[in-house]
Amino acid sequence: MAEAERIIGTPDSAGADETAAPDGTAAPEERPKGRRRIVALFVVAVLAYLLDLGSKMLVVAKLEGHEPIELIGDLLRLDAIRNPGAAFGMGEAFTIIFTCIAATVIVVIIRLARKLYSLPWAIALGLLLGGALGNLTDRIFRSPGVFEGAVVDFIAPAHFAVFNLADSAIVCGGILIVLLSFRGLDPDGTVHKD
């Protein structure tokens, strides 16, 4: 966690000397830019979480125990399965470990949220947060038990693993983070050229 905070930096301490007024007194801090980014992060996270939660509730109510629904011939169908493992169904014996990893990701993102000054980073981290919360909710509240629950997956492309909207949010957020890193945009809003 300390490494993640080091990478993000601490805008609170950066430029501390610049906040002094000409008469030597401390000028009031102006941070509306930072607050807007935090709001954006949480709005994206809540939307991703609610879309995931709603889709899973619908799938469990209407699709689980029924024949898959073909959307695009053999290329794409909806097929409800329970996945106790990680991505692609691997690691079924490590459900508790995946639960701890998801919880850690959530805590790190929340701790780093106050240092966000970049809207694209806020969106990326919001997608990660919403996706992690979606799958963590399944791991905590679904059978077979607390912290051992199986994630509801239902999007089944041909020749690929079955996944859900939380997985999609996590992947999209991860791709966006990679793109932002390649472009040199830091979460604190600074741009660097390497």
Enzyme catalytic residues: 153, 167
Q: What is the pLDDT of residues 120-171, one digit of tens each?
A: 999 999 999 999 999 999 989 988 878 778 899 999 999 998 999 999 999 9
CA distance 80 to 104: 28
The residue ranking higher by pLDDT, 121 or 193, is 121
State both tokens at 175: 């791709």
Complete DSSP assignment for 147-176: TTPPEEEEEEETTS--B-HHHHHHHHHHHH
| Adjacency order of strands within the sheet including 151-157 | 69-72, 76-83, 151-157
**Mean pLDDT along residues 64-90:** 85
Q: What is the pLDDT of residues 32-46, one digit of tens each?
A: 455 568 899 999 999
Omega into 32 within 30° of 0, i.e. cis? no
Q: What pTM was computed for the model?
A: 0.77
Contact status, residue 84 vs residue 138, Cβ threshold 8 Å: no
